[in-house]
Amino acid sequence: MAIILIEEVLMGLDEVKASLEQAVTTLDVLVEDLSPTLEEAWRNELEQVLLQPLQERLAALEQLQATMDAMVV
C-alpha cells in the first residue's frame, strides 16, 4: 500500500516538475528576447524575482524526487 502511495506522489511530482520546467523555459526565453533598449535593471528584476526562484524550486523538486526514488527501490 505504501509503495502505491509513493508511486502516486512520484507521478504528481513529475507533473509539477514538467510545469516548472516549462515555466523556467518560457521565462528564460522571455528574458533573452527582451529588447536591448529596455533597461538592464528590468531584465535583472525578471531574472531575480521570477526565474531564479523557479530554478531553485525545480532543483529542490529534483532532489525530493531522487530521495523518493531511493525509498521505492
Q: What is the pLDDT of residue 44?
A: 82
Check if the beta carbon of residue 7 is closer than 8 Å to that of residue 72: yes
Q: Where are the domains of the chain?
A: 10-72
List the chain residues with pLDDT less than 70: 1-3, 72-73
Q: What is the pLDDT of residue 65?
A: 86
Q: What is the pLDDT of residue 2?
A: 66
Q: What is the pLDDT of residue 57?
A: 93
Q: What is the pLDDT of residue 56?
A: 93
Q: What is the pLDDT of residue 58?
A: 92
